[in-house]
């Protein structure tokens, strides 16, 4: 118990964003934020989510960082 040293702690960083959209653009916004956009081929992004810049949102959509 405790002396094995094989236990690893996994930390996941979650970036909170406030996004304003309308019903017509909702699907596009969700696909952009989840990495399942046009030609995405499924399977959400992979890799280290903290490394890439935030994805571009469709025209007319505003992004506001949540003050964490």
pLDDT of residue 13: 87
pLDDT of residue 54: 67
CA distance 10 to 16: 19
pLDDT of residue 4: 61
pLDDT of residue 67: 54
- Picking from 5, 23, 35, the residue whose alpha carbon sits closest to that of residue 61 is 23
- Picking from 5, 54, 2, the residue whose alpha carbon sits closest to that of residue 29 is 54
pLDDT of residue 42: 46
Chain segment 25-68, per-residue pLDDT in tens: 899 888 888 887 665 444 444 455 545 666 677 777 777 765 54
């Amino acid at each position: 118990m405790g002396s094995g040293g094989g236990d690893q702690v996994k930390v996941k960083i979650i970036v909170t964003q406030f996004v304003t959209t309308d019903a017509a653009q909702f699907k596009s916004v969700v696909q952009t934020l989840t990495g399942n956009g046009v030609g995405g081929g499924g399977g959400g992004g992979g890799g280290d989510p903290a490394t890439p810049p935030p994805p571009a949102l469709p025209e007319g959509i505003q992004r506001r960082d949540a003050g964490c």
